[in-house]
Amino acid sequence: MSVYTSAGTKFSVSAAAPATYNEAGYSALAFTDVGEVSDLGDLPERVYEVVSWRNITNRGESKAKGGYTLGSQTITVGIDPDDAGQDLLDTLSRSDDPASISFEHPKLGTIYGRALVMGGTRNYGDVNTIATRQITLEWTIVSQDEDGIVYEPAN
């Protein structure tokens, strides 16, 4: 059994949408790396709602899967005013359009998807801490037929 840390993972963004929502479509985009990432938070995954009802005849509760969300994600970065990726995140947070997102892990592969960049708070802390900011991503489906989330295994 092998387990891995997040060391070596790259977080990148693109303002463009892929031509197709598969590995070829996403890898054709020009992504900009975001620097000084210290915590990636929770990556996107389908999480279903539970739909429940009670039939009065037998009193028992029945459950079914309802709709789902891809979730939200909060990423922590050390503030770097010279970082092109952080500048792009600022621009994308002022846009109503979703961005293309990439997480590339050296052993676990790459995850691509589409998310709204919602911005986030800044924390300058004290004399013994790094000035940081939180970036929140709200993951969104790309159509009624597909999520747009692509998992590409590492080579």
Q: Which residues contact 145 (CB under 8 A, 6 or more apart)?
A: none
Question: Residue 155 pLDDT more than 90?
Answer: no
Count structural domains, the chain: 1
Residue 77 within a domain? yes
Listing DSSP states for 31-57 in one string gives -EEPPSEEE--PPP--EEEEEEEE-TT
The DSSP secondary-structure symbol of 18 reads P
Q: Give me the chain's average pLDDT, please.
A: 96
At residue 1, the pLDDT reads: 77
- Cα separation of 25 and 149, whole Å? 12
Residue 131 within a domain? yes
The predicted model gives 1-12 an average pLDDT of: 94
pTM above 0.85, yes or no: yes
Residue 55 within a domain? no
- Cα separation of 105 and 11, whole Å? 9
- Cα separation of 102 and 80, whole Å? 20
Residue 65 within a domain? no
Residue 29 within a domain? yes
Q: Which domain holds residue 92?
A: 10-44+72-152
Residue 58 within a domain? no
At residue 136, the pLDDT reads: 98
Residue 25 within a domain? yes
The predicted model gives 88-116 an average pLDDT of: 97
Tens digit of each residue's pLDDT (9 = 90 or more) over 122-143: 999 999 999 999 999 999 999 9
